[in-house]
A and B are shown apart, each in its own frame.
Chain A
């Protein structure tokens, strides 16, 4: 699969390092192969150059011409609802979860472990219940030769039917 995200004007990026770590910026101009001019009027990042290895590119891109002024960037950002979209993204949620996990103290970690243990216990019970049911139904029983032949024939028929359907389409 070809690359989907490029270092380009209007590309929204996540600052992964430096004093503005954790904030979103928009690339305003590409200075050279390693640096870009970025601006984050809505996330509190002043216009500055940043090294590209400090930036992680997001899927968002907002329309404005290169070297656009902050005012233009802000407007494009707001129109595209980048802040809202970012907060809905799984990336943002992951970042928030990591931060939450880091903030936990020893007691919190213990409590989490306890709750997880409880959840897994419930999960195991539910799983066992299902499997037991299936065992009673005889799903896992050793099959006789005739039964096996029948099952194979059935599945082959089903496959043929699927193929025929796909061909019609």
Chain B
């Protein structure tokens, strides 16, 4: 076949031409069943005389079998039975069978959807939480659907952290983090809140609640340093590394007559 471009053009032309002639030859319904051309005119126009007296052989379609023979077990059952393929209407049950529903999906099994702009390596702007306004790097989307972001901590003091995608603006700036290897243990469980078991009731200590302040564990500090090192190395590979570091360091803010829904990120 010739290439489609050259083939298409004459075909379209031909179709247009065909439509014109067809309109002339069309037996239009003038009104109420009165047609433009009489039967005899149509006979000549369509050249029906060509086909008069000719007989076309009928094609016989092979019939599909209606019944199937099924083997039947047991001694006194005759061994087989002829069964209709299409059941008679009377053979269908009048009520629908109650089916077992699959159990409700747990939250952990829900299907997650992440915005297509949120790919690993994207620079995001945090909109909520302690670190709001900071520009951070998206490391990964966790199984729970939350985003794993990192400042890096050394650059803008935002540690490895989980955020929901609704509290993030994805920018079009990306950092190639294909070389960054996250430790396996950094998953949702890693970030789970540690609950201190309540001490047994003892007199006098019921109301004296201790104020606890968050302090990162040694393990976290170590992991943070490890990830930071790799991420900073990745940012260094950027052609505009100096500006990029300054960019990640800077805070996001809106000025007068800047509307987030109108500006590009």
Would A107 and B171 be within 8 Å (CB), given that A114-B243, A114-B246 are in contact?
yes
Q: Say how far B94's CB is from chain A's closest CB, in angstroms.
A: 60
CA distance A7 to B246 in the complex (A): 52
Given that A107-B171, A107-B173 are known contacts, is A102 also in contact with B264, CB under 8 Å in the complex? yes
A103 within 8 A of B: yes
Nearest-neighbour CB distance to chain B for A76, whole angstroms, equals: 35
B141 in the interface, Cβ–Cβ < 8 Å? no
- Whether a CB of chain B sits under 8 angstroms from the CB of A110 is yes
Which chain B residue has the least Cβ–Cβ distance from A107? B173
In the complex, A144 has a CB within 8 A of chain B: no
Expressed in whole angstroms, the Cα–Cα distance for A106 and B136 within the complex equals 13
The answer to whether A106 and B125 have CB atoms under 8 Å apart is yes
Interface residues of A in 28-72 (CB under 8 A from B): none
Q: Any chain B CB within 8 A of the CB of A122?
A: no
The interface bits of chain A over 79-116 (1 if a CB of B lies within 8 angstroms of the residue's CB, else 0) are 00000000000000000000000111111001100100
A105 partner residues in chain B, CB cutoff 8 A = 171-173, 264-265
Please name 11 pairs of A and B residues whose Cβ atoms are closer than 8 Å in the assembled complex, sorted by A. A103-B264, A105-B264, A105-B265, A106-B172, A106-B173, A106-B252, A106-B264, A110-B243, A110-B246, A111-B243, A111-B247
List of B residues within 8 angstroms of A102 by Cβ: 263-264
Q: What band does the interface of chain B fall in when counting residues whose beta carbon is under 8 Å from A?
A: 10 to 19
Structural contact, A106 and B243, CB atoms closer than 8 A? no
The answer to whether B27 has its CB under 8 Å from any CB of chain A is no
**Binding site of B, secondary structure by majority: helix, strand, loop or mixed?**
mixed
Q: Which residues of B contact A (CB under 8 A)?
A: 123, 125, 135, 171-173, 243, 246-247, 250, 252, 263-265
What is the chain A residue whose CB lies nearest that of B243? A111
Residues of A within 8 A of B264 (CB): 102-106
B171 contact from A103, A106, A111, A114, Cβ within 8 A: A106
Listed residue (A102, A106, A111, A114) with the most chain B CB atoms within 10 angstroms of its CB: A106
* Interfacial chain B residues near A103, Cβ < 8 Å: 264
* Residues of A contacting B252 in the complex (Cβ-Cβ under 8 angstroms): 106
Measured CB to CB, the closest approach of chain A to B1, in angstroms, equals 36
Cα–Cα distance between A155 and B250 once the two chains are bound (Å): 53
Chain A residues lying within 8 Å of B265, measured Cβ to Cβ, are 105-106
Least CB separation from B135: chain A residue: A106
**Which A residues touch B173, using CB under 8 A?**
105-107
Q: Which residue of B lies closest to A103 (CB)?
A: B264
A110–B173 Cα distance when bound, in Å, is 12
For residue A111, which residues in chain B have a CB less than 8 angstroms away from its CB?
243, 247
Residues of A within 8 A of B243 (CB): 110-111, 114
- B30: shortest Cβ distance to chain A, in Å? 38
A102 to B247, CA, bound (A): 19
